[in-house]
């Protein structure tokens, strides 16, 4: 490879670790500046890998250093070096020398440091890894507060959740049934030798055996298919859509679920609302690609008086802003960027959005509440509280989870992202 991709990966990681930028957007800038597909793939794999294993690497580094590395770029380069040795199938000699060579010229003081710590890791690898396994943060590669929160909510199931969150996710497609059938699309994939299989219990979902770039997908540009996890594809079926209904998709951007609603039942009046004008631009692009249309409103879900025309809705999807802890496997930077404090702010916002959505629902209408979280505070506790405060809300239970409020899919369950759904019917008699 022509460029030293190690330093490019390290600089990308600095934007996440120090700059607080999301990995998706940091990588977008980096990858657009690289031309060689191999270089792109390597930088992407290293950046995702370092974020996934960050808390373990951080622990290992602390064992290898007498004092912390203050320079952010050199610290990130040390993480990149260690990640290759601990997790990638690379030739160790090349990994060490390439990482040492990646040290920027004006920071030549760091060459010896990087060299020494990587070589020491190789010498003491076994003891260091055993030590890491005895530390819960390093073992699960999740921050301490998150280990506690998830263990507190899920007890014995927590270890499986951490494990699934650290695995690379499958690539799942959603076939646009307005344009073709799932069987037909599967055949198009097979013709191109893209290995794939149907996902049971999810009518429009296909799982790729190996992820590919969207440009490799047949008829992607003409909207025959989209990328969306199986768990997210359950939303539409739960809405029980019928022709002629007025449907509100609250918190809609970037329109994964809006699009699926329209693909499933095109004869509805669909209003999609999101507070974020920039994300709303992506809604437009996404719907255009799929040749679908909805009424798009940039608005605050907690203040419907500023945008709602007063006509109630038959169906409302509240895909609430949440901690996104169920999708860590797709966005491992969440473990680095999310703060414990967010988990006090988010449930309050979700409750406000739910309350305002309820005021826009027709009598006998159905509201589906969704999050991509696995925390009870954002999910079943939220719904429990809502039911206690709203006597005209009746829960439609799930066969999968009859004892609790709603349906909690834990990360990795049946191959899905972590997700939560609850269904609430508005009744005209108190419960």
Catalytic residues: 372
Work out which of 34, 173, 252, 325 binds ligand SAM, going by CB under 6 A: 252
Question: Burial of 428 by CB count in 10 Å (0-12 exposed, 13-18 middle, 19+ buried)?
Answer: exposed
Q: Where are the strands (E) in 180-268, listed by range? A: 196-198, 205-208, 225-227, 246-250
Work out which of 115, 125, 180, 302 binds ligand SAM, going by CB under 6 A: 302
Q: Where are the strands (E) in 252-351, listed by range? A: 269-274, 295-298, 313-319
Cβ of residue 379: shortest distance to ligand SAM, in angstroms?
13
Cβ of residue 274: shortest distance to ligand SAM, in angstroms?
5
Cβ of residue 349: shortest distance to ligand SAM, in angstroms?
6
Angstrom distance (rounded) from CA 257 to CA 158: 28
Rounded to the nearest 5°, which phi and psi values hold at 205? -95, 140
274 sits near ligand SAM (criterion: CB under 6 A)? yes
Cβ of residue 220: shortest distance to ligand SAM, in angstroms?
17
**Closer residue to ligand SAM, CB minimum distance, 274 or 378:** 274
253 sits near ligand SAM (criterion: CB under 6 A)? yes
257 sits near ligand SAM (criterion: CB under 6 A)? yes
Region of 324 please: left (phi>0), alpha (psi -120 to 50) or beta: left
Residues 6+ apart with CB under 8 A from 237: 203, 264
254 sits near ligand SAM (criterion: CB under 6 A)? yes
301 sits near ligand SAM (criterion: CB under 6 A)? yes
Q: Which helix (H) or strand (E) holds 423?
A: strand 419-426
Cβ of residue 235: shortest distance to ligand SAM, in angstroms?
7
Q: What angle do CA 331, 177, 409 make, to 5 degrees?
A: 40
Closest CA to 11 of 22, 1, 26, 24: 26
Cβ of residue 386: shortest distance to ligand SAM, in angstroms?
17
Helix axes 72-87, 92-101, angle to 10 degrees: 170
Angstrom distance (rounded) from CA 43 to CA 31: 8
What distance separates the 2 farthest-apart alpha carbons in the chain?
75
321 sits near ligand SAM (criterion: CB under 6 A)? yes
418 sits near ligand SAM (criterion: CB under 6 A)? no
**Closer residue to ligand SAM, CB minimum distance, 107 or 246:** 246
**Closer residue to ligand SAM, CB minimum distance, 45 or 351:** 351
Work out which of 255, 270, 368, 410 binds ligand SAM, going by CB under 6 A: 255
**Candidate segments 166-174, 182-190, 274-282, 398-406, binder of ligand SAM by CB under 6 A:** 274-282
**Closer residue to ligand SAM, CB minimum distance, 24 or 391:** 24
276 sits near ligand SAM (criterion: CB under 6 A)? yes
**Closer residue to ligand SAM, CB minimum distance, 184 or 303:** 303
Angstrom distance (rounded) from CA 60 to CA 62: 5
List alpha helices for 211-265, DSSP H.
230-238, 256-264
Work out which of 71, 129, 240, 300 binds ligand SAM, going by CB under 6 A: 300
**Closer residue to ligand SAM, CB minimum distance, 254 or 406:** 254
* Site residues, ligand SAM (CB under 6 A): 251-257, 273-276, 279, 300-302, 319, 321
């Amino acid at each position: 490879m022509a460029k030293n991709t190690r330093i490019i990966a390290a600089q990308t990681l600095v934007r996440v670790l120090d700059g607080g930028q999301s990995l998706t957007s940091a990588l977008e800038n980096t990858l657009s500046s690289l031309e060689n597909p191999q270089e792109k793939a390597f930088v992407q794999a290293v950046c995702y890998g370092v974020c996934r294993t960050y808390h373990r690497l951080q622990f290992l580094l602390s064992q290898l250093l007498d004092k912390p590395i203050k320079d952010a770029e050199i610290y990130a380069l040390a993480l990149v070096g260690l990640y290759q040795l601990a997790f990638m199938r690379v030739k160790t000699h090349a990994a060490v020398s390439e990482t040492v060579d990646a040290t920027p010229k004006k920071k030549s003081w760091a060459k010896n440091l990087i060299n020494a710590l990587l070589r020491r890791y190789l010498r003491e690898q076994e003891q260091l890894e055993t030590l890491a396994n005895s530390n819960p943060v390093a073992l699960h590669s999740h921050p301490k507060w998150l280990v506690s929160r998830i263990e507190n909510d899920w007890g014995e199931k927590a270890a499986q959740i951490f494990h699934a969150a650290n695995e690379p996710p499958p690539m799942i497609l959603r076939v646009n049934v307005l344009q073709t059938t799932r069987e037909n699309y599967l055949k198009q994939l097979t013709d191109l030798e893209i290995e794939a299989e149907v996902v049971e219990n999810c009518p429009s979902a296909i799982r790729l055996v190996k992820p590919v770039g969207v440009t490799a997908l047949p008829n992607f540009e003409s909207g025959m298919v989209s990328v969306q996890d199986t768990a997210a594809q359950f939303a539409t079926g739960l809405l029980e859509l019928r022709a002629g209904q007025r449907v509100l998709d609250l918190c809609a951007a970037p329109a994964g679920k809006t699009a699926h609603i329209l693909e499933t039942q095109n004869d509805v009046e669909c209003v999609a609302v999101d507070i974020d004008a920039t994300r709303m631009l992506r809604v437009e692009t996404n719907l255009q690609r799929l040749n679908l249309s909805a009424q798009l409103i940039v608005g605050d879900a907690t203040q419907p008086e500023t945008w709602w025309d007063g006509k109630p809705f038959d169906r409302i999807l509240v895909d609430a802003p949440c901690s996104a802890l169920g999708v860590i496997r797709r966005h491992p930077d969440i473990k680095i960027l999310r703060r414990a404090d967010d988990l006090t702010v988010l449930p309050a916002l979700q409750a406000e959005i739910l309350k305002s959505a309820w005021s826009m629902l027709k009598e006998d209408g159905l509201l589906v509440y969704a999050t991509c979280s696995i925390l009870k505070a954002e999910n079943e506790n939220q719904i429990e509280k809502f039911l206690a405060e709203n006597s005209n809300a009746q829960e439609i239970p799930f066969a999968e989870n009859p004892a609790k409020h709603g349906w909690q899919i834990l990360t990795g369950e049946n191959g899905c992202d972590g997700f939560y759904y609850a269904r609430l019917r508005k009744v005209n008699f108190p419960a």
